[in-house]
Structure 1
Amino acid sequence: MEEGLGQNSVPGSGLVDRTRIVEVKPLRSLAPVLPKSLQLSTSGRYPSGFPPFVLFEGPQESQPSPTHMPTPIRSYRKPQDGAEETPAGVNGDTSSPMEDVNGKSVDDSPKRPLQPMKNCKSSQKRRTKTQDSGSSSLVGGISIAQRDDGDREVVNLVLMTFDSLRRRLCQLEESKELNTILGAKRPDLRASNVMTSKAFRTNMRRRVGAVPGVETGDIFFLRMEMCHVGLHGQSMSGIDYMNVKDELQEEPVALSIVSSGVYDNDAEDEDVLIYTGQGENFNKKDKHVVDQKLHRGNLALDRSSYRKNEVRVIRGLRDAGNKNAKVYVYDGLYKIQDSWIEKGKSGGGVFKYKFVRLPGQSSAFAIWKSVQKWKTGSSSRTGLILADLSTGVESIPVSLVNDVDNEKGPSFFTYSNSLRDSKPFSLVQSSYGCNCNKTCVPGDLSCSCIQRNEGDFPYIANGVLVSRKPLVHECGPMCKCFPNCKNRVSQAGLKHQMEVFKTENRGWGLRSFDPIRAGTFICEYAGEVIDRAKVYKKGGINDDYVFDTSRIYNPFKWNYEPSLLEEISSNVSTEDYTIPSPLTISSKNFGNVARYMNHSCSPNVFWQPVLYAENNQYFLHIVFFALGHIPPMTELTYDYGCSGHGDGSSAPQGIKKCLCGSSKCRGSFG
């Protein structure tokens, strides 16, 4: 449980709760001078010959220290050989071996490529003479240079590839195929090992400060994702560090920290974080209270406090969609302003570090805190026009907000989350629904709906789409499985709290209060199915709220690459859509939140044709899914495509200027 910032920050000049602060003594001599409560016999207890809080200071002149100040941490020496190993840390972390400048572990024992990884520290890769000479040779689509220093495009490619592998391995595990083929669990570890064995990573050159291609506010659902893009090199430990050399000595400095959000780390101030050092306060052998030790990550934080180097801060926050999981948000660069020792809840001494955000950065954490207040009603939403634009049609309210100008809302329409006047079409299948009992089971090839999906269950357990397909066949009202069958993802309505908001220059837009994972269902495009010829008239398009499946859409790859899973024979289908017949939908008069999604040449949402049977007939639906991980309050956009049929119905007057602002903007759409 988080505590208020004032309880753990450096005390002021007023009254102090001395039960919370270790009694202090001046630290002005080379001999360790410890608080009475921490003075323990060193004989035979500490292999290093020093108690856990060994504090060294250069000047030898002793001066009184104000009684209200906590003990500053100032150690200029590394722990001696033989120091105790630190168990799982206060932040739920496991300490890692000391690393050299290149991030190479001192204990560099070989790792089996398909074993669960303990950390993601980069290792030296063997390079050919051609590669060493600066060749742009590609491995998995990433050049040698891009593996050391990536950019935004490369970071997105690595994250998308990792998640596509993880989804596929989850699919295989749930269908009982993974265990027989690879003999292991944890698809995320499997995906990570595959990526590592193929050198499909970026930003492997460890560094202090910002990471190329990673932006403040980026979110991650797994620590492995942060490892593969070079943001945080430890899959378990909360402190990532490396050794640096100067003219006089070599010492560790902190590169990044992960604040788990469930321990003694303060998280109330948007620009300040009080971080607790790593190391338990409880000895498992004889069950007595112990103190944290100034080595490994704690020593690196101490040295960074002295050096004032930038440290990347990642905050772990509860996932609204899964209370047992976390979402990690990169909150930018901080510096350690102060450090001290205080008693932990168990009675042992713990290190505390005060991190302060560097100015000029956007605060991702501030957005998360504001959203939580809006959702609980503890804070009013600036510019709120309507609390629920859907008027109860959606199970989750859709707010309408304008904090840009005085416009009171979009043009009138009737909110509907389904298609009207949809035209059925026939398929070759002999039956319209499956005969599954209760729910369809992955791997059950007797299920007719699974058969239509080429033998694969299209979604994994959390409702995430595994792969783009020409058509996704869902169970429908004619199937005997229960309505909560996991193969009915697009029919359950919104799963995230949405907000329609006024943009600066593109009218109204759509965004979510919640973080959205790649492959997650966003919404269906609801509206009236209309005749395409009526939409495209001489002079251009007379309807701004049209979705047309016959447009030309920029190709992109989202599915996993089969060559990366050499152990698995895959029947991955093409990602090109196969629409049984063109479908044109207008949401001008009837529609849902999809009508507010703007165009972007670099979208974060894509559409997928979904088919299911109703009233003895098949109907096609256009469904949107997240292209990548989408942070809260990020505008949701998709590619509108371009007309290019040359049949007279696609007049060039329908082309509109694009204002998406993407670095890959095509300049127009429509």
Structure 2
Amino acid sequence: MEENLGQDSTPSSGQFDKSRVLNVRPLRCINPIFSSPNASSSAIPQVAAPFVCVSPTGPFPPGLTPIYPFYGLQETPCDAPNQAEPFGYSPPISNAVPLNAFQTPSYSTPGTCKRNTRKQFVGGAAGEDEDGYDDERPKKKSQRKSRGRQESTLVSTEVDLDTIVENILASSNIMSFDSVRDADGDKESVGYALLIYDSLRRKITQIEEAKVLTPGFARRPDLKAGTVLLNKGIRTNVKKRIGAVPGVEVGDIFFFRMELCLVGLHAPSMAGIDYIGVKTSQEEEPLAVSIVSSGGYEDNVEDGDVLIYSGQGGNINSRDKEVMDQKLERGNLALDKSSRRGNEIRVIRGIKDLANPTGKIYVYDGLYKIEESWTEKGKSGCNVFKHKLIRIPGQPEAFMMWKSIMQWREGTASRTGLILPDLTSGVESIPVSLVNDVDDEKWPAHFTYSCSIKYPESINSLENYAGCTCQGGCLPNNPKCLCTQRNRGSLPYILNGVIVSQKSLIYECGSSCKCPRTCRNRVSQGGLKVRFEVFKTKDKGWALRSWDPIRGGAFICEYAGVVLDISKVEENKICEDEYIFDATRTYQPVGILAGDSNETPKIPFPLLISAKGDGNVARFMNHSCSPNVFWQPVVRESNKEFRVHVVFHAIRHIPPMTELTYNYGVVPPEKTEQMKKKCNCESPKCGGYFY
């Protein structure tokens, strides 16, 4: 609507001036809140990739009906041993949560086969959602009916997101903020943009989970966070390009389509085909630069180096819409031109998220070229464009690694170098493999596997507290919850078990609390939640990595071992113990994961944990000057006493088979020479030594 109707928008009965004509445009024709800064030489019209339109809240015009689907996740018991999903965290949801979706009217009779003349909607270069949504909630058919419209979401006016994002930026100590705005990025700027996005998304999620959900209102923190950052220009690789994207590596993973947009890997946040216009000798033509394949169409993704990609449009998988032939326009035309020109195309594969059955994980699988294109009758009986893409040789493994891991799980393929299928001997419900494919060493130094911390009687515990009375589980909007009060008024974890930000100290529920073991405030108490393997490295001894992808902020493990009485420990024994966690060292906050006050871990008493004789997988995590894991002190009650535990969370999304590392911290200057060791982390920021 081009004018502000004000009070005239709801005329009283009998006062409506029928001679008045309002200048009204359809919602899909209104300009987005922000225009795309993407620079391109193309004269071909293309809707800006970033999008956000006003979400309709009523009154609804004829033919539009609000639908309120509900969702819930299955409860996962948090007994030790753990009973979790293959990876991720599955907390309980006590009440169903309504999500908004709007049913579009049917304009013609379904089942007929004719040319697709549907107009492009605001939301992507190719105009159609190739694979639906990528948030943390299930998708129902009624929600998929108007995918192009449903993504129209505004940042809530109830929350001052500008203040939140400025606090997040102020707490960052990674790099200069302005460098993210450069047209060409690098690994650092890409990582910085993704960390800011994920930190803001988690914070928005925490705020919205504490609200009473209004019917018809969708919680889309992924879109809201993306909107704020795009409006502020916090993105990198703004200019579209053919070929590799600086700072994005083959095998990188993403949990949200907005992340692809922020780093310049795939600009449309809904459409499956991204393209640019390229000048030829006579005219300009579109060329595809990237595609997302995640099951929305009739793709064949069985072969790791070959992808049969279907064109877009035609509603070929819809039971509720008119089925049509796909039309050679926009993204389909771009793929056709790329087939003739033979240019490189980035391929992002969407893989089912085992921790969230309705979600996807997007894996950048590298560069492909179209070898062949044709048209065939699809399952619907209408014409579908098909393209055979071949992966360019010499690239690191990505999708094929995922396929190999699945075969290891199913037992259809053997893990090379496997020594033991489970070095925990059943202590953990999820096995931990022991692998060595670099030399002849068969076993790390002898230790007893233990999944908990052991305090000697001589160590004083913290002050005792009464447990909470939240019998159904702690909720973020319950001001009477004692555990929420101890965490300064907000629960430290969002619903999927991801930590919101690094804190000086976190209080989890304990044995005296009335809440069940599936309570969201017991994240670190369920044992391992991903499939780990301890493996031998070439120059760093034994190390730790995961078969499963790990979401940024997700729980990794606890540091198990024996707490040492620091007053009785000789200085030289500490130096000789290679499996010790020293909380008395100086630790810097983990960039934007720090809280609003730039908090650092703060334990109320000196804490040393030795895992030399008793320990778990945490003892195998090596030091890195650019770590992907951070530690967080957690206090929880057991047997009427509060104990401090050291737990680890992911700083950012971690692909499978990536070594897990954290920063060992800094010792006082007088001890540096005594404890100095050569660092082999190979990070660009490596200081050469650690202590």
Residue 555 of structure 1: how far off its partner (Å): 3.8
Residue 280 of structure 1: how far off its partner (Å): 2.1
Residue 338 of structure 1: how far off its partner (Å): 1.0
Residue 400 of structure 1: how far off its partner (Å): 0.7
1:371-405 Cα deviation digits (max 9, x unpaired): 01111111111111111111111110111111111
Cα distance between partner residues in 1 of 2:312 and 2:525: 46
Aligned pair partner of 1:506 in 521, 524, 540: 540
Structure 1 contact 165–560 (Cα < 8 Å) conserved? no
Establish whether residue 624 from structure 1 lines up as the match of residue 659 from structure 2.
no
Structure 1 contact 281–348 (Cα < 8 Å) conserved? no
Q: Which blocks of at least 5 consecutive residues in structure 1 are unaligned?
A: 1-44, 46-50, 54-81, 95-110, 117-137, 562-571
Cα distance between partner residues in 2 of 1:559 and 1:539: 34
Aligned pair partner of 1:264 in 281, 289, 298: 298
Establish whether residue 658 from structure 1 lines up as the match of residue 679 from structure 2.
yes
Aligned pair partner of 2:199 in 156, 164, 174: 164
Aligned pair partner of 1:419 in 453, 461, 467: 453
Any residues of structure 2 matched to 1:156-235 within 5 Å, and which? 156-176=191-211, 185-235=219-269
Structure 2 contact 534–543 (Cα < 8 Å) conserved? yes
Any residues of structure 2 matched to 1:73-472 within 5 Å, and which? 91-92=130-131, 114=154, 141-143=176-178, 146-176=181-211, 185-261=219-295, 263-281=297-315, 289-422=323-456, 425=460, 427=462, 431-472=465-506
Cα distance between partner residues in 2 of 1:354 and 1:533: 68
Partner of 1:19: none
Q: Which amino acid aligns with 1:176?
A: K
Aligned pair partner of 1:557 in 591, 601, 604: 591
Judged with a 3 Å threshold, the aligned counterparts in structure 2 of structure 1 residues 281 and 187 are, in CA distance, closer, same or farther, namely closer
Structure 2 contact 180–234 (Cα < 8 Å) conserved? no
Q: Which amino acid aligns with 1:247?
A: S
Q: Which amino acid aligns with 1:582?
A: P
Matched residue SS, 1:322: coil
1:299-343 Cα deviation digits (max 9, x unpaired): 000111111111110000011211111000001111111111111
Q: Which amino acid aligns with 1:92?
A: D
Residue 475 of structure 1: how far off its partner (Å): 0.2
Matched residue SS, 2:340: helix
Any residues of structure 2 matched to 1:454-533 within 5 Å, and which? 454-532=488-566
Structure 1 contact 260–316 (Cα < 8 Å) conserved? yes
Matched residue SS, 1:148: coil
Structure 2 contact 574–580 (Cα < 8 Å) conserved? no
Structure 1 contact 90–263 (Cα < 8 Å) conserved? no
Matched residue SS, 1:450: helix
Partner of 2:628: 604
Q: Which amino acid aligns with 2:154?
A: L
Cα distance between partner residues in 1 of 2:227 and 2:594: 15
Q: Which amino acid aligns with 1:666?
A: G
Structure 2 contact 278–284 (Cα < 8 Å) conserved? yes
Cα distance between partner residues in 2 of 1:178 and 1:285: 30
Residue 282 of structure 1: how far off its partner (Å): 5.3
Matched residue SS, 1:303: helix
Structure 1 contact 536–651 (Cα < 8 Å) conserved? no
Residue identity (%): 55
Judged with a 3 Å threshold, the aligned counterparts in structure 2 of structure 1 residues 178 and 172 are, in CA distance, closer, same or farther, namely farther
Judged with a 3 Å threshold, the aligned counterparts in structure 2 of structure 1 residues 285 and 453 are, in CA distance, closer, same or farther, namely closer
Cα distance between partner residues in 1 of 2:570 and 2:153: 56
Cα distance between partner residues in 1 of 2:460 and 2:324: 71
Matched residue SS, 1:558: helix
Partner of 2:607: 583
1:131-167 Cα deviation digits (max 9, x unpaired): xxxxxxx9x9433674311111111111011011111
Residue 538 of structure 1: how far off its partner (Å): 4.3
Cα distance between partner residues in 1 of 2:320 and 2:413: 48
1:335-382 Cα deviation digits (max 9, x unpaired): 111111111111111111111111221120111000011111111111
Judged with a 3 Å threshold, the aligned counterparts in structure 2 of structure 1 residues 84 and 625 are, in CA distance, closer, same or farther, namely closer
Judged with a 3 Å threshold, the aligned counterparts in structure 2 of structure 1 residues 642 and 289 are, in CA distance, closer, same or farther, namely closer
Cα distance between partner residues in 2 of 1:333 and 1:148: 21
1:60-104 Cα deviation digits (max 9, x unpaired): xxxxxxxxxxxxxxxxxxxxxx8865998694369xxxxxxxxxx
Structure 1 contact 530–585 (Cα < 8 Å) conserved? yes
Cα distance between partner residues in 2 of 1:142 and 1:112: 28
Judged with a 3 Å threshold, the aligned counterparts in structure 2 of structure 1 residues 284 and 477 are, in CA distance, closer, same or farther, namely closer
Matched residue SS, 2:228: helix
Cα distance between partner residues in 1 of 2:212 and 2:459: 36
Cα distance between partner residues in 2 of 1:260 and 1:606: 31
Partner of 1:30: none
Structure 1 contact 149–202 (Cα < 8 Å) conserved? yes
Judged with a 3 Å threshold, the aligned counterparts in structure 2 of structure 1 residues 187 and 560 are, in CA distance, closer, same or farther, namely farther
Cα distance between partner residues in 2 of 1:534 and 1:560: 34
Cα distance between partner residues in 2 of 1:284 and 1:495: 36
Residue 247 of structure 1: how far off its partner (Å): 2.8
Residue 212 of structure 1: how far off its partner (Å): 1.0
Cα distance between partner residues in 2 of 1:90 and 1:618: 50
Q: Which amino acid aligns with 2:532?
A: M
Residue 512 of structure 1: how far off its partner (Å): 0.6
Matched residue SS, 1:209: coil
Cα distance between partner residues in 1 of 2:331 and 2:185: 26
- CA RMSD in angstroms, aligned pairs only: 2.9
Residue 540 of structure 1: how far off its partner (Å): 7.3
Q: How many residues get paired?
A: 540
Cα distance between partner residues in 2 of 1:644 and 1:666: 16
Cα distance between partner residues in 1 of 2:566 and 2:235: 45
Greater Cα offset, 301-310 or 618-627: 301-310
Residue 545 of structure 1: how far off its partner (Å): 0.3
Q: Which amino acid aligns with 1:558?
A: I
Partner of 1:644: 668
Cα distance between partner residues in 2 of 1:517 and 1:284: 31
Structure 2 contact 368–391 (Cα < 8 Å) conserved? yes
Greater Cα offset, 186-195 or 547-556: 547-556
Cα distance between partner residues in 2 of 1:244 and 1:532: 68
Q: Which amino acid aligns with 1:669?
A: F
Judged with a 3 Å threshold, the aligned counterparts in structure 2 of structure 1 residues 85 and 114 are, in CA distance, closer, same or farther, namely closer
Residue 653 of structure 1: how far off its partner (Å): 2.3
Matched residue SS, 1:342: strand
Q: Which blocks of at least 5 consecutive residues in structure 2 are unaligned?
A: 1-107, 109-113, 134-150, 157-172
Q: Which amino acid aligns with 2:505?
A: L
Aligned pair partner of 2:658 in 603, 619, 634: 634
Cα distance between partner residues in 1 of 2:568 and 2:673: 16
1:507-526 Cα deviation digits (max 9, x unpaired): 11111111000000000000
Cα distance between partner residues in 1 of 2:475 and 2:369: 51
Residue 441 of structure 1: how far off its partner (Å): 1.0
Residue 438 of structure 1: how far off its partner (Å): 2.5
Structure 1 contact 436–481 (Cα < 8 Å) conserved? yes
Residue 409 of structure 1: how far off its partner (Å): 1.3
Partner of 1:669: 690
Structure 2 contact 587–600 (Cα < 8 Å) conserved? no
Structure 2 contact 418–433 (Cα < 8 Å) conserved? yes
Greater Cα offset, 625-634 or 350-359: 350-359
Judged with a 3 Å threshold, the aligned counterparts in structure 2 of structure 1 residues 539 and 85 are, in CA distance, closer, same or farther, namely closer
TM-score, structure 2 normalization: 0.74
Judged with a 3 Å threshold, the aligned counterparts in structure 2 of structure 1 residues 257 and 284 are, in CA distance, closer, same or farther, namely closer
